[in-house]
Amino acid sequence: MKINLNHIKKVYFIGIGGIGMSALAFHFLKMNKQVFGFDKTPNAMSEQLEKKGAKIEYDENLNIAKKTRKNNTLVIYTPAIKENHPIYKYFKSNRYSIFKRAQILGQLSKDKTCIAVAGTHGKTTITSMLSYILKDNNLPVTGFLGGIAENYNSNYIHNGDDIFVIEADEFDRSFLNLQPDYALISNIDADHLDIYNTKEELEQCFHKFVEQLKDKTQLYHQDKLNFGGKTIGINNSADFHPENINLKDGTYYFDWVGPDQKIKNISLTMPGYHNLFNAISALCLAIAYKPEMGERFAQSLTNFKGVKRRFNYIVKRADLNIIDDYAHHPSEINAVYEAAKQMHPEQKVMGIFQPHLFSRTRDFADNFARQLSRFDEVKLLDIYPAREDPIEGINAKFLLEKVNVSHKQLIQKTDILHTVRTSSCKVIVLMGAGDIGVEAQHIKNYYKDEK
């Protein structure tokens, strides 16, 4: 695939408000292209894009779409858009140039130094950390993030175009469009079984991703994986690992150790061993790119504020701590619980979980139940369907029946604030990849106004 972007004046995004699509839209605005798009409803991303000049329609009347011309317009769509969507059908029938977001990212990054971060969990945090520490040291980086970096309140980081840091998503095999110079695989868990029938098939796709790497010596991965690259882990047996770990007042202090370098007294204000792993990984990639700047990269990490909905304290006070997290897979729920108990070892913890996708709930029901059963109390919301149609017999009640906790209950989104206000638990964790984050914001505003 080759697109001459010099001939392109307009770019139309079908699904422009999505976290990945909006980052790419910001980039085309930075390239001085006219940006247009469609989404079902306005959100924070689409509103930011409109403020920067994008024209967005929120119905399917094609009012904006019909004002474009196929000879100078590029159309980009997300895999969530089906081919029978009216706007997609309009562009297809009129023979516009139509590509998936991942294809365009592959094209844009082809002639750059591309650093790709892949893996079932941790991609967004590692990509955000890496983009932040490169920009903080004034390196010419563009970061396409799958979340909102707190330091910039954005999913798009730009300080130049020489280095592209990309969250390499395995969904829809998107990451196979990349040909990275450096690649990291944080972990592999069975997921997206609506795309991959088995974990083995998913692993095979990661092997294909590794084959895309330009230089196989620049492959880095979790020490539990077998890809023949340099290994990263919490244990000393990994090529890159932390030493002298100390957690004090919610901050990790540690040394970063690699085969040829050791950096002492690094601090990280993000709890959980999973975030310690993420930090080791981000430093690993940054130092692989510029070894002589290792100490400066480590200093920058100290000021990284995290990613929205990744173990964010929305309320933090002596009598109550409320944490918001994107966790939507059993392994992620486990990591969040471990971090909460690490921070609050003496307190009871309530988990409020919104399952994401009927197929994921069905495929991992027993494991979801096992991890949720670690909490002292569990509240479940209805399953967030996203792109899926319902599956008979798969609902929140089906999952709740498997959870082995005395205090468990089905609730509605409108019940969350009341549940939080009346709970005896001092630590409450909201989890899910659907719209539970909106309710988290309402809770944050409530307690802010309460002051």
Annotation: binding site for ATP: 119-125
DSSP-based three-state secondary structure for 364: coil
Give the strands of the sheet with 251-257, arranged side by side: 241-248, 251-257, 262-268
- Residue list, annotated binding site: 119-125
Give 349's strand partners: 427
Separation between Cα atoms, residue 339 and residue 157, nearest integer Å = 28
DSSP string across 74-109 = EEEE-TTS-TT-HHHHHHHHTT-EEEEHHHHHHHHH
Residue appearing with tokens 């929205």: 308
Separation between Cα atoms, residue 174 and residue 101, nearest integer Å = 8
Separation between Cα atoms, residue 38 and residue 40, nearest integer Å = 7
CB within 8 Å of 277: residues ≥ 6 apart? 122, 186, 222, 232, 233, 234
Tokens linked to 323:
């944490």
Tokens linked to 74:
């590029």
**How far are the Cα atoms of 224, 268, 339, 341 from residue 250, in angstroms, in the given order?**
27, 9, 10, 12
